[in-house]
Chains A and B, each alone.
Chain A
Amino acid sequence: MSLTGKRRLWLALPVALTAFSWFQIRENHRLPGQSGNPADAKTRTAPPDAGHERASPQKLARQAISSDWDQLLLWLNSHPDPDAVRARLTETKYRWTETDPQALAQALRRLLESGQDAPTGLGFRVGNHGFLADWPTLRVFLLDVLAASDPEMALQIAREILADARSAEEYAIALRSLTRPGLGRAPDAELLDRFDHLLTRPEWQSSPGFAETFDLPRYLGTPDAARHLAASTGNDKLRSMALHEFAAERPAAVIEALKESTLPRADLMARADPQDPAQLAAVDAYLRDPSLPHEDAVSFLKTFPLRSATTGYRLYGKTPAPYTFERIAAGDRQAAALAETWAADPALAPYHAEINALKTRLSKWTEQAR
């Protein structure tokens, strides 16, 4: 072979190798069912539209989300196992939240506007940091992911949903996109209006979404929010739990709200913080109120200062963790001093048995806390 021939061979070799590798890659990446027959390949029938085809990353992300959505709708038609649904929706959420927050919000808006939906077979369960751990419908799933998208756009989309929510669950979860810090935060007055509006929907009152919305006043934490909660009617158990969680964190606001309420208040007054002179005075006035039923006074004295509480994952506020060792111990010392004055007061003689039991209890706790 001549030198030129050898050179040509060396030049041709990489070309041949590249062609071989390309062929191999094509073979390896062929999807099941693809025959590789050139006759099966799609051919372009029109000149390329480069401007149209060169989609932005945001556009690609929206397309991917739309494709995921179509597949989810199809898949749920086959009634998959609840564990599989939970796993797939969780995985989908993790993938979607890796896209640009604004592209995500736009994609979610389109899907919500399409009106498409499907039940998932799961319940409505709040998980850590207020995100859902179970989603009853795909629309509720979309609204849950919405709270991880662009806060301003999510706020706007959520307001549109709230105006026409299909269920208490949609309402509750859309409301969460109005409670995000920063640009996604609606004014307190709007949030309270929306809470009040929810209460006017009797058909929703046995829904888990309706129930979880009772965390909203605690999230707001204002005296006004406490008043709205105290004035709510319908489900006494929900209101009671919400008032206690609110009072455990902000007793002053709840004690203030109770002044205008006819609700039973013995347990709630027992949540007063004895370190706050105003609350201590409120508690003293409560016990000395001549109209206070004996039963209520006994109930109050049995639990004051009440430091047991409910906790768990909540939709709007943080997981309640209202008490610390230092504050409980300091409060017990103040309460013990107040109990001494009550025990010495003949006007409170009808309650002396309970007051003495309270003194004994507080003395035990203050001793243990030393």
Chain B
Amino acid sequence: MTRQIPLSVSLPDSAGFENFYPARNEQLLAALRECIGIHVMQPTSIYLYGEAGCGKTHLLYASVRLTRDLEGAASYIPLHHWPAEALNQLDGKGLVCVDGLDAAAGGAAVERALFRLYERCQAGAGVLLIAARAPPGQVGLGLDDLISRLHGGAVYHVASLNDLEKREALRMRAANRGLQLTDEVARYVLRRYPRDTHALFGLLDRIDVASLSEQRRITIPFLQKLGETPQR
């Protein structure tokens, strides 16, 4: 059989709101879309917290996308990869997304930089959208002025998916790519593979590429043949 070579640019999971499985986060999603989409009565900061893999980064990307779709300015700063100076370059207008505050908490320089950025956002009518694993008072920040400002904005908990929701999320993502993932296969994946969402969606990427390449439907034997290492 001739193998079809998949294009390397194909199938990126576009991290938009439409591709986020809401589960128990429906209210958060509605509030976030509204805050990003309209420019009245919005707080200077929106703070999302939740454990690793609950979808915070996805929501930040989706917010950037929505803002840009509306022809607004948006920037994304992952603090775990970028130095604090990156924050000093931003003018505080439009949407400013800061990911991984945990990585920076406790560092005096980065906290001061974030505080200044907050002040610029307030002056420039910008919105600071922050993601971290814990609420402002418990994330390890030392600067009280920053903590109180973050508390004063909108603070939302992003609920992690349970197994049933992960299964549905997996199927939704597959369907958005035009793949059919039966309930049986989704159950198998959840039973046999690491269940954190990063691993699951990463697995879906690989399954997608392989199924396209081999022109096969996604079945349990196909997964077994893929050679992915399941957990015993």
Q: Do A and B share a complex?
A: no
A-side interface residues toward B, CB under 8 Å?
Answer: none
